[in-house]
Amino acid sequence: MIGIITLNDIREVILNTDLYDVILAYEIMNTDFHSIEIDTEINKALKEFELNDFWNLVVTEKGKYRGFISKSNIFSKYLSSWTKRQAEDI
């Protein structure tokens, strides 16, 4: 994993079709990204989100890319779990 491209990174390119055939991924990729290992506890991931004001983190396994984790996905799963428990208590 050497870099990521986010919507913010390509916003200008998307709006300028003349650049589609001349700009290369490495020219706009962000090499300053944070990652967490796949076995990181969720509390540590949440701290990483908060400390760096991130919404997404790269997930790696022994340094190899495995995917992304998003703060919104964690909160959605938490809310779903909490709602399910509340319904079971009724």
Q: Per the domain annotation, does 30 fall within a domain?
A: yes
- Please report whether residue 2 resides in a domain: no
Q: Where are the beta strands (DSSP E) in 1-90?
A: 35-37, 56-61, 64-70
Q: Give me the pLDDT at residue 59, please.
A: 95
Answer yes or no: is pLDDT of 6 > 90.
Answer: no
What is the CATH number for 79? 3.10.580.10
Average of per-residue pLDDT across 7-34: 87
For residue 70, what pLDDT is reported? 92
Residue 89 has pLDDT above 90, yes or no: no
Q: pLDDT tens for residues 35-69? A: 999 999 989 999 999 998 888 899 999 989 999 99
Residue 70 in any domain: the answer is: yes
CA dihedral 32, 38, 43, 44 (to 10 degrees): -40
Residue 20 lies in a domain: yes
Cβ–Cβ < 8 Å for 46, 74 = yes
Domain presence at residue 28: yes
Find the domain containing 84 and state its range. Answer: 7-89
Is 12 among the domain residues?
yes
Q: Looking at the 3D structure of the chain, how many domains does it have? A: 1
In the predicted structure, residue 88 carries a pLDDT above the cut 90: no
Is 76 a residue whose pLDDT tops 80?
yes
Global confidence as pTM = 0.69
